[in-house]
């Protein structure tokens, strides 16, 4: 299954990122706010301007785009680096900013016991493994699907690798951030076949979003 000809299909992440993306998309000519209000719980709808929209779980956006079911999508760098997919990522939208970080209990912040296998709880096993291997550490990765902060508190793990935004969740659970692995933001992602077969339309989207993002950055810089 590849792209539907002559129509641009967007895979958009349900939730917080979508709210931040909506004004950017509108500025670039893709007006989804009215449709979002009127579609109720529908996960697939067409815009009056002709585009099709799929609303999917954020972590699934790259899957839809890589398989060509959607031509373009919006996905966080955390998801992209974890999944390692074959996609184009032409525009950093500058939204959904946070960081992938290592954290551990406050009382061990001075240093972990040496000579043991480091146990790391995370929702991002590949990113975590890459990070530790680069430091010459072979950790035991303990994959979790949520509430990763519980890992060190309960003794399941020594450290966690997780997304950190304000750091408030860490503080409330007596964890401290010890290292930033990489900065995260949301990207426009594009399917490789669509970039060729729908080249003019895709180029318009890329340029529209890039211009919008750059203007925003300039305004922010000017107001500071």
Partner 1 sequence: MTRDELNDYDWDSAVVDTSVFNPLPIGARDLLPTTSRRRRSNRERLLRVFEGWGYREITPPLLEYFEVHARGLSADMAERCVRFIEAGTGDVVALRSDVTPQIARVIAQRVGGEVEAGDQVRLCYAATSVRLPHGRHDRSELHQVGVECVGEQTPWADAELIGLADEALSALGSTAHRFDLSHTGVGRKLIAGLDLPKAVAKELRARLGRKDRGGVVDLLGSRCAPAQVDAVAELCELYGPPAILDRARELLAGVDAGEARAALEELRAVVEVVQRQTPAVAERLLVDLGEVRGFDYYTGLRMRVWAPGASEPVVRGGRYDDMLTRYGATLPASGLAIDLDALDEALMAADSGQADAAAPATMLAVQPGEPSGAGQRRARAAELAASLRRDGQRAWICAVAEVESALRQASRRGAQGLVWFASDGSVQRWREGAEGWSQQPS
Element (H, E) at 128: helix 125-134
Q: Is 199 in the site for partner 1 (CB under 8 A)?
A: yes
CB of 4 to partner 1, least distance (A): 8
CA distance 200 to 178: 46
- Considering only 197, 204, 208, 216, the residue that binds partner 1 (CB under 8 A) is 197
Q: Are residues 101 and 179 in contact, defined by beta-carbon separation less than 8 angstroms?
A: yes
CA dihedral in degrees (86, 202, 74, 8; nearest 10)? Answer: -100
Using alpha carbons, select from 4, 53, 2 the residue that is nearest to residue 25.
53
Residue 62 zone, left/alpha/beta (φ > 0; ψ -120 to 50; rest): alpha
**Contact assessment for residue 108 and residue 79, using Cβ atoms and an 8 Å cutoff:** no
User: Least distance from C-beta 63 to partner 1, angstroms?
Assistant: 9
Shortest distance in whole angstroms from residue 151 CB to partner 1: 28
Q: Does 203 bind partner 1 (CB under 8 A)?
A: yes
In the set 99, 123, 131, 187, which binds partner 1 (CB under 8 A)?
Answer: 187
Residue selected from 14, 68, 179, 208 as contacting partner 1 according to rule CB under 8 A: 68
Please select the residue that binds partner 1; options are 13, 73, 76, 90, rule is CB under 8 A.
90
Which residue from 39, 47, 163, 195 is in contact with partner 1, where contact means CB under 8 A? 195
Q: Cβ of residue 68: shortest distance to partner 1, in angstroms? A: 4
Q: Contacting partner 1 (CB under 8 A), which of 32, 61, 91, 181?
A: 91
Residue 85 contacts partner 1 per CB under 8 A? yes
86 binds partner 1 (CB under 8 A): yes
**68: region left, alpha or beta (phi > 0 left; psi from -120 to 50 alpha):** left
**According to the binding rule CB under 8 A, does residue 5 interact with partner 1?**
yes
The CA-based diameter of the chain, rounded to the nearest angstrom, is: 62
Three-state DSSP class for residue 180: strand
Near partner 1 in 101-130, by CB under 8 A? none
Distance CA 89, CA 103 (A): 28
Residues that bind partner 1 (CB under 8 A): 1-3, 5, 66-68, 84-92, 187, 190-193, 195-197, 199, 203, 210
């Amino acid at each position: 299954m590849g792209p539907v000809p002559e129509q641009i299909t967007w895979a958009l992440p349900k939730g917080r990122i979508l709210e931040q993306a909506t004004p950017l998309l509108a500025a670039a000519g893709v007006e989804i706010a009215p449709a979002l209000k009127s579609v109720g719980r529908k996960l697939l709808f067409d815009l009056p301007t002709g585009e099709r929209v799929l609303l999917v779980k954020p972590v699934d956006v790259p899957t839809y785009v890589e398989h060509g079911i959607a031509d373009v999508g919006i996905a966080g760098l955390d998801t992209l680096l974890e999944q390692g997919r074959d996609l184009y990522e032409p525009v950093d939208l500058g939204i959904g900013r946070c960081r992938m970080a290592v954290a551990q209990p406050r009382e061990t912040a001075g240093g972990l016991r040496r000579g043991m296998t480091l146990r790391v709880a995370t929702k991002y096993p590949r990113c975590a493994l890459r990070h530790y291997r680069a430091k010459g550490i072979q950790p035991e990765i303990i994959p979790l699907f949520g509430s990763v902060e519980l890992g060190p508190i309960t003794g399941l793990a020594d450290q966690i690798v997780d997304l950190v935004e304000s750091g408030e969740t860490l503080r409330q659970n007596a964890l401290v951030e010890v290292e930033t692995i990489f900065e995260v933001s949301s990207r426009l992602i594009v399917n490789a076949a669509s970039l060729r077969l729908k080249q003019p339309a895709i180029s318009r989207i890329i340029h529209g979003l890039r211009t919008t993002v750059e203007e925003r950055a300039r305004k922010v810089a000017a107001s500071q």
